[in-house]
Amino acid sequence: MTPNVAGGEVGREAPTPSQALAFARYAAALDLSHAADVARTRALADLGHAALHDARRDGVRGMASDMELRSVAAEAAEMARLTDRRLQGEIDHAMTVIDDYPAVFEAWVQRRIERGHVDVVVRVGAGVPAEARGSFAEAAIAVCERDVPSRVRGALDALAARLHTQTFTERHKAAAAERCVQVFHGSDGMSNLVANLPTVIAAGMLDRLTQMGQSVKDARAESDSAGTRSMDQLRADILGDLVLGGAPVVDPTYGIDRAGGLGAIRARLQVAVTAETLMVKDENPAEAVGAALIDADTARELAGQVSEWDRLFIDPVTRTPVEIDTYRPTASMKKLLMARDQHCRFPGCRRAAIRCEIDHTIDYALGGHTHIFNLAHLCQRHHSMKQFTKWEVRQVGGGVLEWTSPLGRVYREDVPIPAVCFTIDTADPPPDAAPSGPPPDEPPPF
């Protein structure tokens, strides 16, 4: 202890009554949160087990079993007000924790480790052979007990590598087979593009982007705004240009002197923007359907780049084109449905309509008409779920869909806010193309 000026010792100061009360409340909140997390994990695993049990009871396997899980996840997601994809991921995670790592789960229940530890153990343990999982789990618990979740990943990776029966080369080949690209949408019209790639490819990409960025800075620093952009901004801009405008080496037509091929493919983006924003009457954000919000200036710029687009005149009461008696909707009906639906019409799903299928609410084979009030966009996941599970849907008029879950809960899916919809690609319009849309001083009469 440190001596004080009077020759005594400075002891620990006791917390004030208000601090003691605050810490007591915080401790109680931690206890409640822990109990709730454990209970939720158990309940999610129970949902998954019940779905698989019902699938086995009905003698189904494969896709039908997955449909049962999708159905249960969709029901639970509506209860939790989450997307069913996220809820199914949480169910899978909960079953993995309880079924594959019972010792880790019990250590969590006993508060020897925290939930963050559990998540890291499961993530790292995915690469550990099943026969070594028990040994890995016991050693992982000891590691986690000594440190916080954010600092145990390296030790767990080393532990998993020692226990693995395969060489690093063999495991790298398997991991490389899982390479992927994902987008995580953020705020203010920005998103993160994440690529899971072999290290040598990722490092090489960063190096080339850096060299290109430095060349731009060196060549244009005195001539235009490129000299004011940071290296991070330049790398991001160059990456976008390369991905949106370049032709990949994996193109089967690479090196062949002919038009077409992968280099001719242009990115597609479905944008929904109100007429007021398009006519510069307000600055409200537009929506990149199935993605996130974008700023009004970008939406107007994209609309101006489209070589051609149709103005939609929709009856505000019926919103109905002429009924036909063929299976496939007409082009005008597809455009109207695209404008009406904007995205998958299953509750909570935001998959853009350009990524969806047009579904007959009442099946065409059962007498359902190819009519705007019997058609709606559904993504592949929810289209399949409508076909192969006990979820039911009916149209109640005005494009409104009413879904009934296997447990009898009813969910209403209203029509999205009416908007001007257009689909753009990144190709520049030809120099001799006529100006798209109305003249600047004559806004479209939406």
Chain segment 41-74, per-residue pLDDT in tens: 999 999 999 988 877 765 554 455 788 889 999 9
Asked if 22 and 171 sit in the same domain, the reply is yes
Whole-angstrom distance, CA of residue 174 vs CA of residue 180: 13
Which pLDDT does position 317 carry in this prediction?
A: 47
Threshold 0.75, pTM exceeds: no
The number of C-alpha atoms within 13 Å of 151 and in the hemisphere containing its C-beta is: 4
Reference 49, options 106, 408, 57; nearest CA is 57
Q: Is residue 72 part of a domain?
A: yes
Which pLDDT does position 410 carry in this prediction?
A: 92
Q: Is residue 277 part of a domain?
A: no
Report DSSP state, residue 324.
Answer: B
Task: Confirm if 421 and 342 have CB atoms less than 8 A apart.
Answer: yes
Asked if 29 and 142 sit in the same domain, the reply is yes
Tokens of 404: 């009934």
**C-alpha dihedral, 415 to 417 to 418 to 422, nearest 10°:** -100
Tokens of 250: 């994996």
Whole-angstrom distance, CA of residue 136 vs CA of residue 156: 9
Asked if 239 and 341 sit in the same domain, the reply is no
Asked if 143 and 211 sit in the same domain, the reply is no
Q: What is the pLDDT of residues 364-404, one digit of tens each?
A: 777 788 788 889 999 999 999 998 888 999 998 888 899 99
Asked if 127 and 168 sit in the same domain, the reply is yes
Whole-angstrom distance, CA of residue 216 vs CA of residue 219: 5
Asked if 199 and 70 sit in the same domain, the reply is no
Q: Is residue 288 part of a domain?
A: no
Q: Is residue 443 part of a domain?
A: no
Q: Is residue 28 part of a domain?
A: yes
- Number of domains comprising the chain: 3
Asked if 39 and 70 sit in the same domain, the reply is yes
Q: Which of 238, 264, 290 is the last residue of a domain?
A: 264
Q: What band does 111 get if pLDDT is binned at 50, 70 and 90?
A: very high
Give buried/exposed letters for 377-399 (b at 16+ CB in 10 A, else e).
bbbebbbbbbebbebebebeeeb
Asked if 213 and 135 sit in the same domain, the reply is no
Q: What band does 116 get if pLDDT is binned at 50, 70 and 90?
A: very high
Which pLDDT does position 299 carry in this prediction?
A: 79
Name the residue range of residue 242's domain: 181-248+260-264
Q: Which residues contact residue 269 at a Cβ distance below 8 angstroms, ignoring those fewer than 6 apart?
A: 288, 291, 302, 423, 424, 425
Q: Which of 177, 212, 240 is the last residue of a domain?
A: 177
Q: Is residue 56 part of a domain?
A: yes
Report DSSP state, residue 438.
Answer: S
Tokens of 181: 């690209």
Q: Which of 144, 177, 210 is the last residue of a domain?
A: 177
Whole-angstrom distance, CA of residue 118 vs CA of residue 42: 14
Task: Confirm if 396 and 411 have CB atoms less than 8 A apart.
Answer: no
Whole-angstrom distance, CA of residue 169 vs CA of residue 349: 40
**Residue 159, Cα to own-chain centre: how many angstroms?**
31
Q: What is the pLDDT of residues 159-186, one digit of tens each?
A: 888 888 777 677 778 888 989 998 888 8
Taking each helix axis as running N to C, give the angle between helix 153-163 and helix 115-125, from 0 to 180 degrees, rounded to the nearest 10: 30
The answer, yes or no, to whether residue 315 has pLDDT greater than 50, is: no
Q: What band does 247 get if pLDDT is binned at 50, 70 and 90?
A: low
Asked if 81 and 170 sit in the same domain, the reply is yes
Asked if 122 and 140 sit in the same domain, the reply is yes
Asked if 214 and 150 sit in the same domain, the reply is no
Q: What is the pLDDT of residues 69-98, one digit of tens each?
A: 899 999 999 999 999 999 999 999 999 999
Tokens of 437: 């849309």
Asked if 74 and 144 sit in the same domain, the reply is yes
